[in-house]
Structure 1
Amino acid sequence: MRSLFRLVAAVVLCTRPALAWEYWGGDRGGQRFSPLTQITPDNVGTLVRGWEFRTGDLDARPPEVMKRTKFEVTPLLVEDSLILCTPFNEVIALDPGTGAQKWRFDPKISMAQRPANRFVCRGVAHWTDDRAADGAACKSRIFTGTNDTRLIALDARTGKPCADFGNAGEIKIDAGMKLAWPGEFQITSAPVTGRGVVVVGSAIGDNRRVDAPLGAVRAFDARTGQPRWTFDPLVHDGIEAGHSNVWAPMSVDEERGLVFLPTTSPSPDFWGGKRPGNDKHANSVVALRIETGELVWAFQTVHHDVWDYDLPAQPTLARIDTGSDMRDVVIQPTKQGFVFVLDRDTGKPVWPVEERAVPQNGADGEQLSPTQPFPTHVPPLLTQRITADDVAGLLPGIGSSACEKLLAQSRNEGLYTPPSTQGTIVYPMTGGGVNWGSAAFDPVNQVLYANVSHAAHIITLIPRDQAKGFDPPPGHDFGQQEGAPFAMSRALAKSAVGSPCNKPPWGETVAVDLKAGKILWHSTVGTSEDLAPLGIALDTGTPLVNGVAITAGGLVFTGAMDAYLRAFDARSGRLLWLGRLPVPGVANPMTYLWKGEQYVVIGAGGHSEAGTSVGDSVVAFRLPRQGEGVSLLARLIDRPGGRFAAKAVATGAVLIVLVGLFRRWRRRRRVKVV
C-alpha cells in the first residue's frame, strides 16, 4: 500500500506545473520540494558552474554599508525569468540559462538608515491577475517589501511599477507611532498572495523598549492596493507590550482561503512582567481567512516567552500519513528544535502535546508560565541542554576552561531556564534550532528535512540603575528594554579561542520520518575554512540559519557559513558533492528546469552578522554538457581544506626555489672571494 501511495504521489507531482520554483518556499505551503530528477546521487558529483551573476553591490556600496548586509534571497522562476531582490531591495530579473540581466528596478532606499535586522531581503512574491487581459501590463505582478517599509508592485515581465496599485505602484506602510530610529521597523521576508489579496508582515527592532511598534500583519487588494484588513497577533487587554509581529515567511492554502502566520515573542524579549499571562496569540501558529483577516484558529508553542523563542520558520503545509489516515497538516519547526504537527482545519495537534513543568523563579516582577508545551511523537531535532560534559574548546584541552567557568557561574537548569541578573544559559540559543530557512518536506517519501544550529547564549538582565551608560563587552548584544526594570545583554557562549562552548557539530541537516516519529539521520554541514585563520578546514559544522531544497531525484541541497553549496543523499545523509562559491551562501537554494537542463541556484553574498566575508553573487550549477567537465585537481582544490593545502604546497614550492637561489648565490659569492 505504501509503495502504491508513493507511485500515485509521484505521478501527481510530476504532472502538475511544478517544474518551476514559483514561490519563496517552492510552493505556497513552503515544502521546498522539487519533482525534478535529472540530477541524481549518481551524477551530482559532476555538476559544473553554469553561470554567476553579480548584483554590483560590492562595487557600488561603501564597505561600511556592505558590513550591514545579509544576502538571504531565494529567487523565483516566473515569466521565463529568475527574479530576486538584493539586500537593498533592488529587484532583478535574470535569464535562467545564462544569468544575464533582463531588467532591474531600484526603489532607492536610503543608505543612511540603520535597519534593526540589517539590510536584507529574503525574496519576492508573484501573482497573476486572472481578470486582466492577456498581454496587459501588470497582469503578472511581483510584490516586494522594503527595508523602509514600502510594499511595491512591479510588472513581472518588464520590472516597471504597476501604476494602478497604491500610489504609482507602491504603498508606504505606517508603523503607527514615531520610530526610535530610522530602521526600527522594516520588511525582511517576502509577501504572500492568495485570492486576490497580498499579505505582508514586518520585522521590528528587539529589546529597545516595551512600547515598541505594533506587530500588525497587513493585507491589501492585489490589484488596487486598497487596504483589506490588519491583524495584531498580540491581545493587548491589560498588558503593556508593543509587538508580537510576523517577520518570518508566511504560507497560504489557496483552496481553503487561509494564510498561516508564524508569530513572534512580545516586546521586550527577556522580561515580561508588564505582560502577564500567556500573551495570546504571540509565539503561535495563527490561521486567518486571507480575504477578511478573520481568526480561524491559533496554537501557541511558547507561553509567556522570555527567551526570544519566537517562530522564525515558515509553516510547512503538507499532506501526511499519520498511521491511521492521510491528513492535511501544518508543520511548524521551532528554535528549540521542536516539531509541532497541527491539523490544518482546526489547529489541534495531530499527535499529543504535553504541558510539562519548567524552571521557575524568574527575575523580580516576572510572572512565568508554570508549564510549556512539549510535542511527544516527533523527537526534538537537537539536544536541549548543555552540561559540563558537553563543553569543549576548539581542540581538546584548548580554550575549554573559559566555557567551564561560564557554565559554573550561570543559571542553567535546562530548557526554559528564566533570564537572570546572574546570567542564564539559553540552549538552544535564540537563533538556534530551526531558523528562517524553515523545513522541507518530501511528500512522496513522507520525510521532513531541516537545518539546525547547536550553540548557547548567555542572557544577562541588568538592573535599570546599572543600565544607563552600560558599556557592553565586545561581542555582546545590548538592549535597554526601556520601560522594564532591566536592560539585557546577550552573548554567544564562546571559548577562549572564539569557538562555541558546546562540542561540535555546530550545524547539521536532520531528516525525520514523521509517521514513525523517528530521526533518520544527522549530517554535519559546514567547516571552519572560511571563518578560521589561514583557511584551516575543520569539520565542525557551522551555525545554519538558512534551509535546504530537496528533489525527487533523491538529493538535499544546502549552503552554510563556509563558501560551499552541498548535496547530500536524501536517504542516507551521505555528503555527495560540494560546489565552491565566491563567499558563503547563507540563503535557501532552489532548483528549476530550463530548456531541458536542471539548474541548482543559491545566493552567495555572505552574512555580515555571522562575521563571514560578504559578496553579491548568485551562482547556478548544472550537469556538464558534452566536452565540459572539471579536472580531478580542481575537484580536490574545491574540497574543504583544498585551497589551504594548495596554498601550503605552493608556498612550500616557492620557499624551496628561494632557498635554492640563495644557496646558489652563496656559492658564487664564495668563489669570487677566493
Structure 2
Amino acid sequence: MTNILTWALRVLGALVALLGLGLAAGGIKLISLGGSWFYLLAGIAMIAIGYCVIRRRSAALWTALGLLAVSLLWALWEVGIDFWQLVPRTVTFLVIALGTAIIAPVLLRKSGRPALPGKYAAGLSVVLAAAFVATLGGMFRPHPTIVATSSEAAPVVNADAGKDSGNDWPAYGRNTEGNRFAQFDQINKSNVKDLQVAWTYRTGDLAVDGKEYQTTPLKIDDTVYLCTPSNIVIALEATTGKERWKFDPHAKISESTKGWRRCRGVGYADLTAIAAPATDNAGSNGAAAPVALPEVCRKRILTSTTDARLLAIDAETGKLCEDFGVNGAVDLSVGLTPDPVGGQQGSYNVTSAPLVADGVVMVGGRLNDNLTVGEPSGVVRGFDVRTGQILWAWDAARGAKDSTPLPPGQTYAPETPNFWGTAAYDPKLGLAYFPTGNQTPDFWTGNRHEYSDEYNDAIVAVDMKTGKEAWHFRTANIDQFDYDVSSQPILYDLKKSDGSTVPVIIQLTKRGEIFVLDRRNGQPVVPVEQRKVSTKSMEGMQVAETQPFSAISVGTTPFKESDMWGGTIFDQLYCRIEFKEMRWEGHFTPLSDKQRTLIYPGYYGGFNWGGGAIDASTGTLIVNDIRMAQWGRFIKQEEAKRIGLKPSTEGEYSEQLGTPWGVERSMFVSPLGIPCFKPPFGSMTAIDLASGKTKWQVPMGSIQDAPVHGIVPGVLIPLGMPTMGGPLVTKGGLTFFHGTLDYYTRALDSDTGEELWRGRLPVGGQGAPMSYVGKDGKQYVVVVAGGATRTGTNDNRGDYVIAYALPK
C-alpha cells in the first residue's frame, strides 16, 4: 500500500476518533445531567472505528455497520418515523458506514484477507450510498406533521358565506368578523397552477431602517387601498395597479418608533350607508333633525399613524376630510400621561388597522415592551366616524364600571394592559371584541395592579356605540412572558351536532391555545381547563397557581429531552445538554436569576398578530404558527451594564426600569444557529371546528432564503420555518399564504394541505393576501412584499404590491 493511502487512512481514522472523543465527552456530561447514554456509547464506538481504520483492521467496518444499525433502532425507539428527527440521529453514522465500506478492501482481517472483497464492498457501498441519497432526497419534500385522511372537499354548511362583501374586500379581515374568507372560485384547485402576475406596483417607501410591510390592502368598488410603513396611504386602480392618489401624513419619528414602523391596514366608511346622527335641535314635530351629509368625504379611509394620530381621508381624492377632528386628524395622545423616559409623547403609537363599523372607528395602541414602569395607559377608544368626536373610552383601570371619556385635562391611569391589534364586530349583537396585552414591563410581575391581572391577555367585549363592557375572558392568569394576545378575533356561527347554532368568537393566542367562546357571554364552547403550573418563583414575583388551556391548540406539547434537535448528532447533543441544564417544569416555569429558564411556547408565538382564517362555508379553521423556544433569566441592571449588555425593548436584554431586575433572553439555538428543538418551526394547520379535530398540518416555508450566520442556503428544503402574517381562504378550495421566510407566495389545497402552486417573490413577505373580483370579471389575489421579517439589515428589502390572476 502506498504511503499516500496509508496517510489518508491515518488522517481519516484520526478524524473519526477525534469526533468520537468529542461525542463521548459530551455524552458523559449529558449522563451527569440525567440524560441519554447513547452519545457516550456512540462516541466510544467512533473512537474504536477510528483506531481500527488507522490500524487497517476489518473491525472498523463491522463496528461502523453495527453503530449504524443501533443508531437506527435507538432513533426509532426515541422518535418513531419522524423524518426530521431521524436525520441527525443517523446520518453521521450512515456517512461513517459508507466511508468504511468504500475502504473495506484495504481493511484486513487477522488472516490478512480484506474485510470484504472488492465486489462485495462495492455492492455494500452502493446500498449505503443509495440510503444517503434517499435521505438527502427526503429533505427536499415536505413531511406533514398530520396527514389528511381524505382529499374530499369538506361539506358545505353555509352556501352564502362571504357574499355579504360582494366582489370587494372592504375591511382588514375582509369583513368585521375577521374571517379572511372570499367566496370566489374562479381560481380553484384545477387551474391555480396557471396563476401569473397581472400587475405590479412599487410604493416608493422601501422597508428599510426599521420599516416593515405587514399590510393587508382593502378593495372597494374599483380601487385598492393600502398603507406603507411610513403611514403613506395609496389608492390603486384594482385591475391595472395604476396609482390614483397618494397621501403622506409625514408621521414624526420618535425614539420609540425609529426602529419600529408599521402600518398593518386601513379602515373604510361610507357615510351614506350609516344611520344619520341627530342634532340637538328638534324639528317641527319634536323629533331630532338628522345632520346633513357632507358634500365631500362621504366615502373615507380611516388610518392611524405611528405618531399617534387618527386620520380621515377622502377615498376618492386622497385629501384630508376637514370635518373630521381638527382639520382631518384626531390627536390620540390626548388623555395619556407622558413617557416615563424623557417625558415626551412617543411611546404610545398605533400600527394596526382600526375597526370601522356602525358609524364608529375604534382604536387601541402599541406601547414599549420591557423598557420601564409608568408607560401610558392602554386605553381603547371609539370615535364618531364622521366628526372624530370621542364617544367612549374603555381602560382596564375602570373596566366594566365606566366607559365615558375623561374630561379635558385628566389622564387615563398609566400601565394598564393595552390592545394593539385589530378588533372584530358583530352587527347583530352590536358588540366589538378586542384582545389585550399585558402591563409592562412584561417579565417582572411584582409591580402588577389588580386590574392589570384581571384584564391581562384577555378578550373584551364592549358595546360598539358606548364602549360599555359586556364581558371579558382571560387567556392567561398573571402573564410572566409577554404573551399579549394580538391577532384579530374571528367571529363565526358554529353549527352543533344537534342542529343548533352558536355564535362563537375564536381567539388565537401566542401560547398556541385556541379559545372558542360564545360571543354573547364569553362562556367557553370548546372546553377550557385550569391546569396547575409551577409557582417556584423569585421573591417579590406574583405568579398564578393555574393557567387556562383550551381543548384546541397547536404546537403546545411540552418539551422533553428527545425533542431536542440539531443539524448533526453533535449539535443535537449540545442542545440536549443545554436543555437539561435549563430550568423547565412545563409551561409558565417562572424565570430565575440562578439559571436560564426555557420559555415555550415562545413569546413570538404560537399565533402572532397575523391571525388566522376560516372557511366560513365549511367551518374549517386554518392557521399558521410560529414554533420558536426562547430562554430567559433575570439579571441585575448594574450587572448587565458591567458585562456590556445593550438595553432595548425587542433585543436580548431589557432593563425593566423601576423593577428590581432586568431580563436577558434569546432564542434557543445551537452554535450553528439552528433551533435546538424539533421541526417544524412554523406550520399551517386546518381544524374542523365542529369536531375540534385537526384535519392536516404541514410545514410552512423552506430554508432557501433564511440566512444563518450570514450564509443563505439557497436550497428549497421545506423544513417549516417561523411564519408571519396570516392566510387567505377562498371558496375555490385554496389557502393562499406568503408570510414565510423564503420568497414565495403559495396556494395550498384547503382539504389536504398539499402545495398546488408556488410563485417566486422579489423579496419576502409578512402580511396576509387578499382577493377580489375586478370590474373586468377577473379574480385577483394581491400580496404586499417588503422583505422577510426582522432581517436586521437593509438587504433584500422592497416595496412591492403584486396582483395575480389567471391568463385570459
TM-score higher than 0.5: yes
Of 584, 605, 623, 2:786 maps to 605
Letter in 2 for 1:146: T
Structure 1 counterpart of 2:771: 591
CA gap of 1:602–1:147, structure 2 versus 1, over 3 A, is same
Correspondences of 1:408-419 after superposition (within 5 Å): 408-419=580-591
- Whether the aligned pair in 2 keeps the contact of 1:563 and 1:584 (CA below 8 Å) is yes
CA gap of 1:187–1:15, structure 2 versus 1, over 3 A, is closer
Of 714, 718, 721, 1:542 maps to 721
What secondary structure, in the 3-state scheme, does the structure 2 residue paired with 1:399 have? helix
CA gap of 1:98–1:508, structure 2 versus 1, over 3 A, is same
- Whether the aligned pair in 2 keeps the contact of 1:362 and 1:418 (CA below 8 Å) is yes
How far is the alpha carbon of 1:254 from its aligned partner?
Answer: 2.2
CA distance in 1, matches of 2:580, 2:508: 31
CA distance in 2, matches of 1:228, 1:140: 21
Within the alignment, does 1:521 sit opposite 2:521 as a pair?
Answer: no
How far is the alpha carbon of 1:117 from its aligned partner?
Answer: 6.7
Within the alignment, does 1:153 sit opposite 2:312 as a pair?
Answer: yes
How far is the alpha carbon of 1:478 from its aligned partner?
Answer: 1.6
CA distance in 1, matches of 2:297, 2:636: 55
CA distance in 2, matches of 1:233, 1:18: 38
Letter in 1 for 2:716: A
Structure 1 counterpart of 2:491: 317
More displaced, 70-79 or 405-414?
405-414
CA distance in 1, matches of 2:487, 2:353: 13
Within the alignment, does 1:290 sit opposite 2:464 as a pair?
Answer: yes
Within the alignment, does 1:120 sit opposite 2:295 as a pair?
Answer: no
- Whether the aligned pair in 2 keeps the contact of 1:234 and 1:281 (CA below 8 Å) is no
Superposed CA offset, 1:592-646 (max 9, x none): 1112111111110014524473211111111112xxxxxxxxxxxxxxxxxxxxx
TM-score, normalization: structure 1? 0.86
Structure 1 counterpart of 2:63: none
User: Pairwise CA RMSD of aligned residues?
Assistant: 2.3
Structure 2 counterpart of 1:105: 247
Of 434, 442, 448, 1:275 maps to 448
Letter in 2 for 1:457: Q
CA distance in 2, matches of 1:442, 1:24: 16
Superposed CA offset, 1:494-532 (max 9, x none): 111112211221111000011111011001111111113
What secondary structure, in the 3-state scheme, does the structure 1 residue paired with 2:757 have? strand
- Whether the aligned pair in 1 keeps the contact of 2:602 and 2:629 (CA below 8 Å) is yes
Structure 2 counterpart of 1:77: 219
How far is the alpha carbon of 1:375 from its aligned partner?
Answer: 1.6
CA distance in 2, matches of 1:86, 1:549: 20
Of 341, 347, 353, 1:184 maps to 347
How far is the alpha carbon of 1:103 from its aligned partner?
Answer: 0.3
Of 190, 198, 205, 1:50 maps to 198
- Whether the aligned pair in 1 keeps the contact of 2:253 and 2:307 (CA below 8 Å) is no
- Whether the aligned pair in 2 keeps the contact of 1:210 and 1:241 (CA below 8 Å) is no
What secondary structure, in the 3-state scheme, does the structure 1 residue paired with 2:576 have? helix
CA gap of 1:31–1:608, structure 2 versus 1, over 3 A, is closer
Give 1 or 2: higher helix fraction: 2
Of 147, 162, 184, 2:321 maps to 162
How far is the alpha carbon of 1:272 from its aligned partner?
Answer: 0.7
Superposed CA offset, 1:216-263 (max 9, x none): 1111111111111111135699xx971310011111112322111100
Letter in 1 for 2:228: T
CA distance in 1, matches of 2:292, 2:263: 31
Correspondences of 1:387-466 after superposition (within 5 Å): 387-393=560-566, 395-397=567-569, 399-421=571-593, 422-466=595-639
Letter in 1 for 2:247: F
- Whether the aligned pair in 2 keeps the contact of 1:600 and 1:622 (CA below 8 Å) is yes
Structure 2 counterpart of 1:561: 741
- Whether the aligned pair in 2 keeps the contact of 1:601 and 1:618 (CA below 8 Å) is yes
What secondary structure, in the 3-state scheme, does the structure 2 residue paired with 1:57 have? coil
More displaced, 565-574 or 533-542?
533-542
Within the alignment, does 1:195 sit opposite 2:358 as a pair?
Answer: yes
CA gap of 1:265–1:14, structure 2 versus 1, over 3 A, is closer
How far is the alpha carbon of 1:413 from its aligned partner?
Answer: 1.4
How far is the alpha carbon of 1:398 from its aligned partner?
Answer: 5.1
CA distance in 1, matches of 2:718, 2:468: 49
Letter in 2 for 1:409: E
How far is the alpha carbon of 1:551 from its aligned partner?
Answer: 0.4
Structure 1: 5+ residue runs without aligned partners?
Answer: 59-64, 626-674
Letter in 1 for 2:353: A
Letter in 1 for 2:324: F
Give 1 or 2: higher strand fraction: 1
Structure 2 counterpart of 1:653: none
Structure 2 counterpart of 1:482: 657
Of 654, 674, 680, 1:505 maps to 680
Structure 1 counterpart of 2:21: none
CA distance in 1, matches of 2:642, 2:464: 46
CA distance in 1, matches of 2:550, 2:259: 31
Letter in 1 for 2:496: T
Structure 1 counterpart of 2:666: 491
What secondary structure, in the 3-state scheme, does the structure 1 residue paired with 2:575 have? helix
CA distance in 1, matches of 2:399, 2:180: 36
Letter in 2 for 1:565: T
- Whether the aligned pair in 2 keeps the contact of 1:79 and 1:156 (CA below 8 Å) is no
Letter in 2 for 1:411: R
| Paired residues, number | 610
Correspondences of 1:296-307 after superposition (within 5 Å): 296-307=470-481
Structure 2 counterpart of 1:88: 230
How far is the alpha carbon of 1:14 from its aligned partner?
Answer: 6.2
Of 282, 286, 302, 1:143 maps to 302
Within the alignment, does 1:579 sit opposite 2:759 as a pair?
Answer: yes
Letter in 1 for 2:261: F
Of 342, 353, 356, 2:531 maps to 356
CA distance in 2, matches of 1:6, 1:536: 38
How far is the alpha carbon of 1:19 from its aligned partner?
Answer: 2.3
CA gap of 1:198–1:387, structure 2 versus 1, over 3 A, is same
CA distance in 2, matches of 1:264, 1:469: 32
How far is the alpha carbon of 1:466 from its aligned partner?
Answer: 2.3
What secondary structure, in the 3-state scheme, does the structure 2 residue paired with 1:21 have? coil
Structure 1 counterpart of 2:281: none
More displaced, 30-39 or 109-118?
109-118
CA distance in 2, matches of 1:257, 1:32: 21
How far is the alpha carbon of 1:79 from its aligned partner?
Answer: 3.9
| Structure of greater Rg | 2
- Whether the aligned pair in 2 keeps the contact of 1:67 and 1:614 (CA below 8 Å) is no
Within the alignment, does 1:617 sit opposite 2:800 as a pair?
Answer: yes
Q: Where in structure 1 do 4 or more consecutive aligned residues deviate above 6 Å? A: 132-135
How far is the alpha carbon of 1:388 from its aligned partner?
Answer: 2.2
- Whether the aligned pair in 2 keeps the contact of 1:241 and 1:267 (CA below 8 Å) is no
Structure 1 counterpart of 2:158: 9
How far is the alpha carbon of 1:176 from its aligned partner?
Answer: 1.6
- Whether the aligned pair in 2 keeps the contact of 1:400 and 1:496 (CA below 8 Å) is no
CA gap of 1:234–1:400, structure 2 versus 1, over 3 A, is farther
CA gap of 1:470–1:185, structure 2 versus 1, over 3 A, is farther
- Whether the aligned pair in 1 keeps the contact of 2:511 and 2:605 (CA below 8 Å) is yes
CA distance in 1, matches of 2:728, 2:188: 14
CA gap of 1:617–1:14, structure 2 versus 1, over 3 A, is closer
CA distance in 2, matches of 1:117, 1:31: 31
